[in-house]
Amino acid sequence: MAADVQTQLYSRFGKKFPAGTTLFNEGDRGEEMFIIQAGKVKISKKIRGVEKTLATLDKGEFFGEMAILNDKPRSASAETLEESEMLVIDRKTFEDMLRGNVEIAIRFIKRIAERLRETDEQMESLMIRDNTSRLVNILAKQVKGSKMPGGYSINIDDLAGMAGIEKNLAHTIIGKLANVKIVEVAGDVLRILNQEQVDRLVKYLEMREIFGELL
């Protein structure tokens, strides 16, 4: 998007939000969608009474559009993880954008299709009841979906949110994986540096399925 167009859009629709701002809650009526210009946003949902992180979005991502499209309550909650700048687009403007620009409409449809696939995979992982299997399953899929330039890193607390388990338990599980050299840990960050580590993680999942909990 050209810089002058970007500036025009931000002057019309741009807003700044402090870290920790709740943009909307699950069940709210949706009248706006958001396009992140800077910062990070957590998308979460309560499943069996426990809040679980569905995604962490950053610059270039959009969210909140489904409530506009289907005119139903918000299916998840959104909160800024750091100070963020966003375009806040109302229902009419969003519909006009889709009708008036085929390229935007096609890009939007493709991204929605990707999200549906990602959501299906994540919900499948969240149905796993065993905490270790669920966390490792989600981690393996996160790694698989990344290009790993210089390795893959993720905050362990964020991973715990995705798996819907206590942070202390997540650190314990990851510590066990680090002890057997499946992952590396530096403070609160988990790192996987190469494909060999990814293959070892996938093999671990396969062995757990066959033999159960051995750690």
- What's the whole-number mean pLDDT along residues 61-68? 87
Would you give the DSSP letter of residue 190? E
pLDDT score for 215: 47
Q: CB atoms < 10 A from the CB of 138, how many?
A: 23
Q: List the single range of 71-75, 86-90, 97-101, 182-186 with lowest mean pLDDT.
A: 97-101
Instruction: For residue 27, give both structure tokens.
Output: 């069940």
8 Å CB contact between 161 and 53? yes
Q: Is the pLDDT of residue 213 over 80?
A: no
What's the order of all strands across the beta sheet hosting 189-192?
A: 152-155, 189-192, 184-186
Specify the amino acid at residue 17: F
Encode pLDDT of 185-203 as tens digits: 988 999 887 778 877 877 8
Q: List the single range of 59-63, 118-122, 128-132 with lowest mean pLDDT.
A: 118-122
Comparing CA positions, the residue from 27, 3, 8 lying closest to residue 87 is: 8
Comparing CA positions, the residue from 132, 108, 33 lying closest to residue 78 is: 33
Q: Percent of the chain, pLDDT > 70?
A: 83
Full set of structural domains in the chain with CATH: 3-126 (2.60.120.10), 131-211 (1.10.10.10)
Encode pLDDT of 1-45 as tens digits: 545 556 777 788 899 999 999 999 999 988 899 999 999 999 988
Instruction: For residue 81, give both structure tokens.
Output: 């993880």
